[in-house]
């Protein structure tokens, strides 16, 4: 084999080794452990389907997966709505490139702190005696504190939207900035109004960015557990939180089985998104 033939393989080998060491081997290990057996004190290397059978046959597990999907759909919808309009404003209403960059950096300021700090900061704001309830009561809008604001599904969704909206803004903004403004002018010259330009020109051309942002948000929400634990006050559950509890109880094979099932579900969701939108235009 000549050097010219093996050169591409040599160039790809570092990345291939990294993917093998940090992606393929960990996933293969999780799949292997998911078939092992265990009791209250130890794990037995074996090949059994008990972990998958218990997961699939448990109504509690089904409800947990459905609850996770519920969070995913709601957060995806809200982040898409908010993220698209923020990106649209930055791309089409801010003429100065410098100001665009400044405002975009302002959006990233919360990322200078950790997710946990940003999430916990909602607790004194939404609590029974928090700032929001106290403000509403002082204004006479309510006569007693609103209980649903904290330790509820509302709090979980609010925190997730706060944490993950930027993951939707960034790819959509990048896509909108690539749109040829001549297309918009041509549509306007052809008699299209603002809504028609948005629905027939801008949104179709923004689909790759929307798809990439959707993949980010879906994968992050499906695997999130710390937000559900803190913001629901233990009153709700997600697959990630369930796996965290299983690991705390040393039930590693059961947690591995749930991880494999969750990975398959996420891959199916990502495949569905890629079937609808060709993101290679963005890459």
What are the boundaries of each domain within the chain? 59-281
| Bridge partner residues of 44 (DSSP) | 37
The mean pLDDT of 144-162, rounded to a whole number, is 89
pLDDT tens profile 166-182: 999 999 999 998 888 88
In contact, 222 and 239? CB cutoff 8 Å = yes
The mean pLDDT of 86-113, rounded to a whole number, is 84
pLDDT tens profile 33-52: 999 988 877 888 888 899 99
Strand ranges, E, within 43-186: 43-44
In contact, 86 and 169? CB cutoff 8 Å = yes
In the prediction, which pLDDT does 147 show? Answer: 83
pLDDT at 283 over 60: no
pLDDT class of 17 with cuts at 50, 70, 90: very high
Q: Which fold has domain 59-281?
A: MetI-like fold (1.10.3720)
In the prediction, which pLDDT does 85 show? Answer: 93
In the prediction, which pLDDT does 88 show? Answer: 92
Other beta carbons less than 10 A from residue 48's beta carbon: 14
Instruction: Kindly report which listed range (5-14, 129-138, 148-157, 238-247) carries the lowest average pLDDT score.
Output: 5-14
pTM for this model (two decimals): 0.88
Q: What b-and-e string marks burial along 63-72, b requiring 16 or more CB atoms within 10 Å of the CB?
A: ebbebbbebb
In the prediction, which pLDDT does 149 show? Answer: 84
The mean pLDDT of 77-81, rounded to a whole number, is 96
Instruction: Report the half-sphere exposure of 162 (CA within 13 A, side-chain side).
Output: 20
pLDDT at 187 over 80: yes
What is the rounded distance in angstroms from the CA atom of residue 79 to the CA atom of residue 67?
Answer: 18
In the prediction, which pLDDT does 1 show? Answer: 54
pLDDT tens profile 199-222: 898 999 999 999 999 999 999 999
In the prediction, which pLDDT does 282 show? Answer: 56
In the prediction, which pLDDT does 274 show? Answer: 87
Mean of all residue pLDDT scores within the chain: 88
What is the rounded distance in angstroms from the CA atom of residue 86 to the CA atom of residue 80?
Answer: 10
């Amino acid at each position: 084999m000549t050097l010219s033939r093996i050169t591409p393989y040599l160039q790809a080998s570092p990345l291939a080794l990294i993917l093998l060491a940090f992606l393929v081997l960990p996933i293969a290990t999780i799949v292997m452990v998911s078939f092992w057996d265990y009791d209250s004190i130890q794990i037995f290397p074996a090949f059994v389907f008990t972990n998958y059978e218990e997961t699939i046959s448990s109504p509690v597990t089904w409800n947990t997966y459905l609850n996770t999907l519920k969070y995913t759909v709601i957060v995806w919808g809200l982040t898409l709505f908010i993220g698209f309009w923020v990106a649209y404003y930055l791309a089409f209403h801010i003429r100065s490139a410098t100001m665009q960059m400044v405002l975009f950096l302002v959006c990233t300021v919360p990322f200078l702190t950790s997710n946990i700090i940003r999430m916990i900061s909602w607790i004194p704001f939404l609590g029974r005696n928090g700032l929001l309830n106290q403000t509403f009561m002082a204004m006479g809008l309510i006569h007693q504190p609103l209980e649903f604001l904290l330790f509820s599904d509302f709090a979980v969704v609010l925190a997730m939207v706060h944490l993950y909206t930027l993951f939707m803004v960034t790819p959509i903004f990048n896509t909108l900035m690539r749109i040829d403004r001549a297309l918009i002018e041509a549509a306007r010259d052809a008699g299209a109004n603002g809504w028609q330009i948005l629905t027939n020109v801008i949104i179709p051309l923004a689909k790759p960015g929307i798809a990439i942002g959707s993949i980010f948000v879906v994968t992050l929400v499906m695997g999130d557990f710390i937000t559900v634990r803190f913001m629901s006050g233990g009153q709700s559950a997600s697959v990630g939180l369930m796996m965290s509890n299983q690991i705390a109880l040393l039930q590693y094979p059961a947690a591995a089985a749930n991880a494999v099932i969750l990975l398959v579900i996420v891959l199916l969701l990502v495949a569905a998104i890629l079937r609808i939108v060709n993101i290679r235009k963005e890459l």
